[in-house]
Chain A
């Protein structure tokens, strides 16, 4: 099957800055694909290159097998939902939505009919005559969505589409976008800096940093098996313990503690072990279950934060602080600062990344 978007060796340089640095990426037809990274990582530039708003300095960019490298945006079968929507302020909702069809020389009655259908799809019936300035943020977002989708793009590009909405509306729209995508079966390529948004919505995620593609994978891959230290640190909260590989099964921490941590790296490699706070159990010293003896550490509770549903401990393990999240409901015992404790985890829940 041809990929919806196929990027090979694409680089984008602005003067001396490599905004996007030699990336390879393939997005399947019908996929909900998220591009995630901190601001300035090159995710938006990548999206703009797919849209045709920027041209690659080098490399090949194909949409459904057709090379589009330097094709202007109006000649590409993709549409964009812009950050802050970029709705035409001098046009009504209806004129905004039918804009693409009118530019494409679709006859007026057909264009109006299709525009009405899309306005109904995004639940804005009755607002056709309003100007964008008379709509709320959420409604503007829907207009932007309808305006892009009315053209039946083969790929829909979304640039931080939920960034301007408040939390509640954002969560609502996340669900709606996801179901809309399933219904239409069109590839959605979604740029966001919000890792939670990417994890909840996307089929696959690409993590970018400094113009480079660090990892592409399912949300589970990215969260549970990060490819490197940056990804582990960027996605969710994690503890990173510096260590050196001893053999296939063991690593040695900086203070000489040997821990069981299966890894494929050669002995002597400097690594970091990623340990999610929620994967760590906490208990009094000497209560470590036998099977966890080689995946445990001892320390002293430094602070405790009560979150209602959970308890966040900071445990001082000699030279580092370890964040531990305990379930408030099922915790057998609660600890106070100063308590001597042991922490342990399952052999499968840690993850070793090359430094």
Chain B
């Protein structure tokens, strides 16, 4: 009768106690932590500690003999308002914004086109997007130097057409060209991931509901691919803002950009506190934009 059923029922009750569930949860969490430990350790040693050092140095005092870790002050941060520094910040930001916009304009149609192709074509196109990564970044920048150089294909072409000897190398245009070339894949990949996820029938539905091609883009495709737009823009904007290699190789000596300015502070000017302050501000910008991205609900990174 029921008596035979009761013991089983009580066992069930035991299994389902909240304490048991909580213990199980904790066990799972501990296991997860264990798996992630090497990565945490790595990040702590090579990211957190150096970051703390940078922050500490940014408040230190510069003396004739180097940096003194005493007499804490915020002079370095005050100097960010200097006209010279402000110009550099403004110029770097402008270049990074232009680079990001150009990448966005180039990558969006490409990513959309790619997402509408067959799986085979798509994979092939993805490989083509990644091919530049197989060559060293420095080498690729020097390649541009050859292309844009005074005897290179670019100036010969412009001479042949009759525009005279075009000079692009060592200008901001060359820097933007180099940055766009270098960072375009970082824009294409998240955009592609975002657009590819969108159900094609939504676009058909919008066309069916009297939207023109542009309206479909504006009201359906663009809003739904926004996570990709934000992710790509951050991935391009952030490294462009702090870029050092490309401006150093392709840019002119007259127009200093943020990256090389920071390097100068550490290596030539021996002004570690100021260099540290600049680096920290740059990092803060990156961090803020990343937080904005995750707030926007992005998941494509």
Contact = CB atoms under 8 A, between A and B. Distances in A.
Nearest to B215: A103
Interface in A37-55: 51-53
A72 interface: yes
B207 A88 contact: no
A179 interface: no
B117 to A, nearest CB: 15
Given A73-B207, A103-B210, A86 B202 contact: yes
B224 A79 contact: no
Contacts of B201: 82, 84, 86
Contacts, number: 59
A73 B208 contact: yes
B205 A86 contact: yes
Among A78, A82, A104, max chain B CB count under 10 A is at A82
Contacts of A154: none
A90 interface: yes
Contacts of A103: 206, 209-212, 215, 219
B204 interface: yes
Contacts of A74: 207-212
B8 interface: no
A166 to B, nearest CB: 22
The 6 A-B pairs with the shortest beta carbon distances in the complex, nearest first, are A100-B209, A86-B201, A86-B205, A103-B210, A73-B207, A103-B211
A93 B177 CA distance: 45
A150 to B, nearest CB: 9
Given A86-B199, A103-B211, A73 B224 contact: no
Contact of B208 (A51, A87, A88, A104): A51
18 contacts: A52-B207, A53-B204, A53-B208, A72-B207, A73-B208, A74-B208, A74-B211, A74-B212, A80-B205, A82-B201, A82-B205, A84-B201, A86-B199, A87-B205, A88-B202, A99-B206, A103-B206, A148-B209
Q: Report the interface size class on chain B.
A: 10 to 19
A90 B223 CA distance: 8
A148 B209 CA distance: 7
A147 interface: yes
Interface string A50-90: 01110000000000000000001110001110101011111
A73 B204 contact: yes
Contact of B210 (A51, A53, A86, A100): A100
A296 interface: no
Given A73-B204, A89-B224, A90-B223, 16 more contacts: A51-B208, A73-B207, A74-B207, A74-B210, A82-B208, A86-B201, A88-B202, A88-B205, A88-B220, A90-B224, A100-B209, A103-B206, A103-B209, A103-B212, A148-B209, A151-B210
Contacts of A72: 207
A213 B283 CA distance: 67
Contacts of B207: 52-53, 72-74
Contacts of B223: 90
Interface in B209-249: 209-212, 215, 219-220, 223-224
A73 to B, nearest CB: 4
Nearest to A97: B209
A10 to B, nearest CB: 19
Contacts of B224: 89-90
A82 B209 CA distance: 12
B135 to A, nearest CB: 39
Interface in B160-214: 199, 201-202, 204-212
Nearest to B203: A86
Contact of A104 (B199, B210, B219): B210
Contacts of A88: 202, 205-206, 220
Contacts of B206: 88, 99, 103
Q: Find the residue from B207, B210, B215, B223 having the highest chain A CB count within 10 A.
A: B210
Contact of B209 (A53, A84, A151): A151
Contacts of A151: 209-210
Interface in A273-303: none
A80 B220 contact: no
* Chain B CB within 10 Å, residue with most, of A72, A79, A80, A86: A86
Contacts of B209: 74, 79, 99-100, 103, 147-148, 151
A84 B199 CA distance: 11
A51 B206 CA distance: 12
Contacts of B199: 86
Contacts of B215: 103
B201 to A, nearest CB: 4
A236 B180 CA distance: 63
B283 to A, nearest CB: 33
B204 A86 contact: yes
A293 B208 CA distance: 59
A148 B208 CA distance: 9
Nearest to A72: B207
